[in-house]
Structure 1
Amino acid sequence: MSSYDIAEKIREFLPGTEEILVQYLSGYLVDDASEDEDILSVARLMLGSVAMEKPDVLEQLMGTLGALLQDQLMRRDEAQSGPKLQRLDKVLEMSKAGALSNTIAFSEGVDPRVDQQGKVASRVDVKKLEKQEAKLKAKIEKRARRDLYEGSKLLEQTKKQQSYEEMFMKINPLQSAAASKNKSKDIHLPSIDVSFGSNRILSGASLTLAYGRRYGIIGRNGVGKSTLLRHIAMREIPIPSHITILFVEQEIVGDDTTALNSVLKADVWRDHLLAEEARLNARLAELDATHPSDLDARVEETRDEVSGRLADVHASLADMEAESGPARAAALLAGLGFSEEDQGRQTKSFSGGWRMRLALARALFVKPSLLLLDEPSNHIDLNALAWLEDYLQTWPGTLVVVSHDRAFLDAVATDIIHQHSGRLDYYKGNFTQFYSTKSERERNLRREYEAQMEYRKHLQAFIDRWRYNANRAAQAQSKIKILEKLPEITPPEAEETETFRFPETEKISPPLLQLSEVTFGYDLSKIILNRVNIDVGLDSRIAVVGANGAGKSTVIKLLTGELHPLSGQVNRNGRLRVGYFAQHHVDTLIQTMNPVQFLAHKFPGKTEQEYRQHLGNFQISGMTGLQPIGTLSGGQKSRVAFSVLSLQRPHILLLDEPTNHLDLEGLDGLMSALRTWNGGVILISHDERFITAVAKELWVCGDGTVRKFNGDVEAYKSLIVSNIKARP
């Protein structure tokens, strides 16, 4: 019996029940309830308020749930049946008992007995006790993971129940615009706690954001960076109400609205004021049409009120530059890669990546006091990324961005926030300056720690040598007092590093993989690639860059054989093995399986320990390898996908946006592995540092062809920005 079946029955009998209650209750009945809880009574109590006027329906539902859960209830009864409490034949007088055992456990494996002298002797089966403790620990960890996963689903469900407009007005009330005048927009919260499910993300951390600064948040995958942004965005952290907030986290929902109108409607205040302006103008026209004989003091008073409100609306619209809205929206869309034709297309016609760009354009159009961006570079190509970096450098408000792209953080950030160990550490400057300062700080801390430990060792050696010597006893006692007064010190955190491992591949004779005069299009009227020539060998390190839609992923799919050319030849060595990391690699993972199960499903024949050891090569270790893939972070899912590639033992790797979601340590590990691996690599990426570190050749995809670029990534990005600025 699954929670899905329970949820369907609740919806069937009580269709008006809130979805959050349905999801919670179905999960509780099947998975979350402890063994001593009367689950049906709890369900009846929770559903009673929903079915107050339908007692018969509630009884029918409870009967159905009881039937569905019959096997589970029987297993619970069997589990609870066991040794019962028994009355003692004799009273044990505690005052006469000797020293009791420090461990008192009323469970299997503990046999307390009283001897003739009144002393208590405990006999503990250590192996059984350890086994029970391990089971309890595993159960606690499983529940913690489930809390996090179910909490995430409930959060998403809550967000889906509210429209963008409702959420915007709830987070940013219209009156807050007027209230913000002459008020500081700095944020300083000396102590905040952030939790999600049973996970504590931050404890007593200080949140300080100065207005006009641009902050980059960095930290390991799973540390809670996105969770922190959500708490800020929903004002679950006490951000002053006069500070407007907008969080770009997920793609917009597609509908019949055009891309340009979608951006204009994103500014709910502007939309609201324009609609009010139209109503007020209509009301004034109605009053002006009143016959002179019908005019009286009341009509004049109404006209004055309407005119006064209209003046206020006009002032508000002027403050937000409402008239220039269409031109600003069009410029933003153009910078993010939308052609004039695309701007008139309906949003539902765009793919997920383009809808993410729309969400970004909408946020930039609104210009909130506090803009929150979660991995914005994951969804845009190098061309749009170059424009975005240039645009954000003049952002007037406060910007907080979570990103693992070092080049992006170097270009945009004025400050870095390092989230780790339940706290936030602040550094002035961009990522390069942060890394230099952090490294120097860690070296100083390490030297200080080593010096203190050497001093302690010196004192302890003197004490051990002379404390029992009559002539030196006083000196030894003095050293003891000095040692006791020294502050407790903790060793500095070790620098975290990661290593990825791809198996060495055997050599095979060239040619390995070639495109010769290849032309491709989904129909003859629209050719995407025309007469493309590429030769890939074991020593190839090629990065393909270009605007979205130019054909980068098409080149990769032609090389894998997923697409076939209209003309030309794709030559492929018969012994060649190709590993393909797709941009949407998550779609290839089975979310309900854990990583160990998924590897066993894809590559059967190994032991569980071998699968876990292999996952450890990509930093999926411990309990992470045994939890459902659906509960993993984006970076952890990428690591699972890389472990699958490794087991294919490829000669050539085709990587489409492999850096998305990986944290900085993961990126370093991947770059190092690719540099030392002896196979060929073709990659598509927007990460400047990754391309520079791995690729030896830069190929530009555009204008229906792929050609080699004589220059590095920085030169290519500069060319893009100058071309965008040169547009009329």
Structure 2
Amino acid sequence: MTWWKLSENSCKKCRGTARMTRALGQSVSACTTLYACRAEPQNQGNNQVLLDAPIQLSKIMENYDCDTKLPGLLKREQSSTVNAKKLEKAEARLKAKQEKRSEKETLKTSSPLVLEEASASQAGSRKESRLESSGKNKSYDVRIENFDVSFGDRVLLAGADVNLAWGRRYGLVGRNGLGKTTLLKMLATRSLRVPAHISLLHVEQEVAGDDTPALQSVLESDTIREDLLRQERGLSLKIAAGRAEGSEAALLAEVYTKLEEIEADKAPARASVILAGLGFTPKMQQQPTREFSGGWRMRLALARALFARPDLLLLDEPTNMLDVRAILWLENYLQTWPSTILVVSHDRNFLNAIATDIIHLHSQRLDGYRGDFETFIKSKQERLLNQQREYEAQQQYRQHIQVFIDRFRYNANRASQVQSKLKMLEKLPELKPVDKESEVVLKFPDGFEKFSPPILQLDEVDFYYDPKHIIFSRLSVSADLESRICVVGENGAGKSTMLKLLMGDLAPVRGIRHAHRNLKIGYFSQHHVEQLDLNVSAVELLARKFPGRPEEEYRHQLGRYGISGELAMRPVASLSGGQKSRVAFAQMTMPCPNFYILDEPTNHLDMETIEALGHALNNFRGGVVLVSHDERFIRLVCKELWVCEKGSVTRVEGGFDQYRALLQEQFRREGFL
């Protein structure tokens, strides 16, 4: 039944609103109340019909057969056309889709985080392709032009060029998170086109542990020598057994000639020198690789790369795994390196010692500079100053021309001059203002209170994990809220162990550790990344560690250490090594300690952040004890130098200069210099 509004007049009988209904082909005006009232038939003159009861169309419908088509009404067919088999298949597909969706949701919450991958693209020339395919390219220079590198949706390099000349040593520098490590990986995997005849090695992963002795592991990295020795053994056995043919005897003579050319007999001595320089004692050189810790296996990976002498050696922060003594040895060793090196490092002294060129990554491009790091700093400042002057001069010139154009734009007599000036503006090169990198500022919140001494000390402490191997005997050291102490020494000498004794994480076997009752220690571990939940954002990390605070407070805390904006909301696993260190600093300083114990805090940090960290520690009103191998950082922060060796800790009065002189003298005695 369909209703149409007829008028706003009310029913005279019951005062209900008059409406029009269409039923059984007749138009009737009736009120919408439940009671009968006067109804006026339409289109039938003035005849009036008095209804004794309300009109019930549903009951009227019952009087008609199902097949009878009522006038003015449409009746739909009621028969079903559903195919049962198709319905079952559709329901099965829907169920499978729902199960698949639930599995994905489960994987999101239970599986480890899947990170974005880096990619590279490069525009190549036909000439280079022809040379490469024909095998006529004999140059050992690496020239890659107009390439892009991205990491997920982020563009790291756009239209960049890199030229690595044979025999040069390049230092790759730039802020954390800009893509230095990613660029090395693109070169190592040859995602960027490196000529096939150029051998390269990327020291990235530690050596897998097995029963192979350390010295043998290094020797096996020279695949050419190993292959020749394998041929020599096989041919010698055949000749000794009388099964050799005439040609095989000639082949053996050729193998001997090649072994002599590469000085294969001197290889064990050369490998031993490299291992010794990196801190491996004669006993350690014979130990199976599975007995070494991760740090020593990384040293072993570096030793293998140095021994193999690839045409292009790629090193990513090699000094992170080394102590001061090993760094000084590596500096001397690389200064005579015969082929090409590309090294990412934030150690200024190390780059000053080895680099012949610096490549600066910034603003999605690469700029090359001749000379060591100090020369690069001066050259970069001069280049930026000249660029700024050129930009400002051009802006003044543009403004001068524009004033003339605006003044005589509508002057008919000057129309030709105006047109000439407009063409001059069009021909001017588009110069951009200098991109100034933002200054890095770190600030440690003060927790300073004046405590009566002693603040923190170890008195006559003995410590060992195994009674047969004493680490410390009768160790006595102390620090106060004015201390700026740096601890140096070879790896394995006990530096990290002493820090844990000072913190109270390890209990002395004998002796006493004393700490003031109001002392609040902040600790930064050299393995800080292992202590971070990599699957959550930095904001969520702080919220879990220090619950109950507003999100703005977590963001502000992270912002103090350069983790701001979208960086604070990205999973920690997607951050660079230096950015993860900054998150660890934010977490460490949240409770406002009054004493810091830092174990290798400069690892992975860029140079600007290392400088900012040094200034922050100098401005901090509290005590500091740290372990570091960064010479510049040590000189910037520390007032005392403790040398950890032979089961004790001694104070060097002359500071780092005296310690460095002692190491150089030791190298001379051992024949490394």
Structure 1-normalised TM-score? 0.72
Note closer, same or farther for the CA distance 1:652–1:473 as it changes in structure 2 (3 Å cut). same
Deviation at 1:695, TM superposition (A): 0.9
Q: Partners in 1 of 2:96 and 2:279 — Cα distance?
A: 53
Q: Partners in 2 of 1:510 and 1:65 — Cα distance?
A: 71
Q: Partners in 2 of 1:695 and 1:480 — Cα distance?
A: 61
Whichever residue aligns with residue 190 of structure 1, its letter is E
Of 691, 699, 719, which aligns to 2:634?
691
Number of aligned residues: 560
Whichever residue aligns with residue 381 of structure 2, its letter is S
Q: How does 1:251-330 map to 2 (within 5 A)?
A: 251-287=206-242, 303-330=245-272
Does residue 573 (structure 1) correspond to residue 516 (structure 2)? The answer is yes
Deviation at 1:65, TM superposition (A): 7.1
Deviations 1:499-535 (A, max 9, x none): 1121122313132211222222223332212222222
Of 426, 447, 454, which aligns to 1:505?
447
Q: Is the 8 A contact 2:652 2:658 kept in 1?
A: no
Whichever residue aligns with residue 414 of structure 1, its letter is T
Q: Partners in 2 of 1:499 and 1:647 — Cα distance?
A: 17
Q: Is the 8 A contact 2:116 2:151 kept in 1?
A: no
Does residue 539 (structure 1) correspond to residue 482 (structure 2)? The answer is yes
Note closer, same or farther for the CA distance 1:569–1:203 as it changes in structure 2 (3 Å cut). same
SS of 2:160's equivalent in the other structure is: strand
Note closer, same or farther for the CA distance 1:64–1:355 as it changes in structure 2 (3 Å cut). farther
Q: Unaligned 5+ residue runs, structure 1?
A: 1-61, 76-145, 156-175, 289-301
Deviation at 1:702, TM superposition (A): 0.8
Deviations 1:627-685 (A, max 9, x none): 11122111111000000111020111111011111112221221221121112111111
Of 420, 434, 440, which aligns to 2:376?
434
Does residue 671 (structure 1) correspond to residue 614 (structure 2)? The answer is yes
Does residue 422 (structure 1) correspond to residue 422 (structure 2)? The answer is no
Does residue 229 (structure 1) correspond to residue 184 (structure 2)? The answer is yes
Q: Partners in 2 of 1:716 and 1:308 — Cα distance?
A: 57
Match of 2:117 in 1: 151
Q: Partners in 2 of 1:398 and 1:521 — Cα distance?
A: 45
Deviation at 1:184, TM superposition (A): 3.1
Match of 2:586 in 1: 643
Does residue 632 (structure 1) correspond to residue 663 (structure 2)? The answer is no
Match of 1:92 in 2: none
SS of 1:327's equivalent in the other structure is: helix
Does residue 563 (structure 1) correspond to residue 506 (structure 2)? The answer is yes
Q: Partners in 1 of 2:495 and 2:458 — Cα distance?
A: 14
SS of 1:522's equivalent in the other structure is: strand
Q: Is the 8 A contact 1:192 1:207 kept in 2?
A: no
Structure 2-normalised TM-score? 0.78
Match of 2:81 in 1: none
The structure having more radius of gyration, on CA atoms, is: 2
Whichever residue aligns with residue 204 of structure 1, its letter is G
Match of 2:282 in 1: 340
Of 419, 426, 434, which aligns to 1:492?
434
Whichever residue aligns with residue 444 of structure 2, its letter is F
Q: Partners in 1 of 2:269 and 2:282 — Cα distance?
A: 12
Whichever residue aligns with residue 582 of structure 2, its letter is R
Does residue 202 (structure 1) correspond to residue 145 (structure 2)? The answer is no
Q: Is the 8 A contact 1:496 1:665 kept in 2?
A: no
Deviation at 1:465, TM superposition (A): 5.1
Deviations 1:400-445 (A, max 9, x none): 1111111111111111111223322111011111011001111111
SS of 2:185's equivalent in the other structure is: helix
Q: What RMSD over aligned residues (CA atoms) do the two structures have, in Å?
A: 2.8
SS of 1:238's equivalent in the other structure is: coil
Q: Partners in 1 of 2:195 and 2:411 — Cα distance?
A: 67
Q: Is the 8 A contact 1:688 1:714 kept in 2?
A: no
Deviation at 1:617, TM superposition (A): 0.8
Match of 1:709 in 2: 652
Deviations 1:180-234 (A, max 9, x none): 9x94322223333334444443333222111111111112222222222122222
Match of 2:69 in 1: none
Q: Partners in 2 of 1:414 and 1:714 — Cα distance?
A: 25
* Identity across matched positions, percent: 50
Match of 2:174 in 1: 219
Whichever residue aligns with residue 679 of structure 1, its letter is G
Does residue 445 (structure 1) correspond to residue 476 (structure 2)? The answer is no
Q: Partners in 2 of 1:307 and 1:203 — Cα distance?
A: 57
Q: Partners in 1 of 2:197 and 2:373 — Cα distance?
A: 31
348-357 vs 676-685, greater mean Cα deviation: 676-685
Q: Partners in 1 of 2:196 and 2:152 — Cα distance?
A: 26
Of 530, 534, 552, which aligns to 1:591?
534
Q: Partners in 2 of 1:195 and 1:626 — Cα distance?
A: 20
Q: Unaligned 5+ residue runs, structure 2?
A: 1-92, 107-112, 121-131
SS of 2:360's equivalent in the other structure is: strand
Note closer, same or farther for the CA distance 1:469–1:408 as it changes in structure 2 (3 Å cut). same
Note closer, same or farther for the CA distance 1:73–1:614 as it changes in structure 2 (3 Å cut). closer
Q: Partners in 2 of 1:186 and 1:479 — Cα distance?
A: 46
Match of 1:514 in 2: 457
Q: Is the 8 A contact 1:508 1:575 kept in 2?
A: no
Does residue 582 (structure 1) correspond to residue 525 (structure 2)? The answer is yes
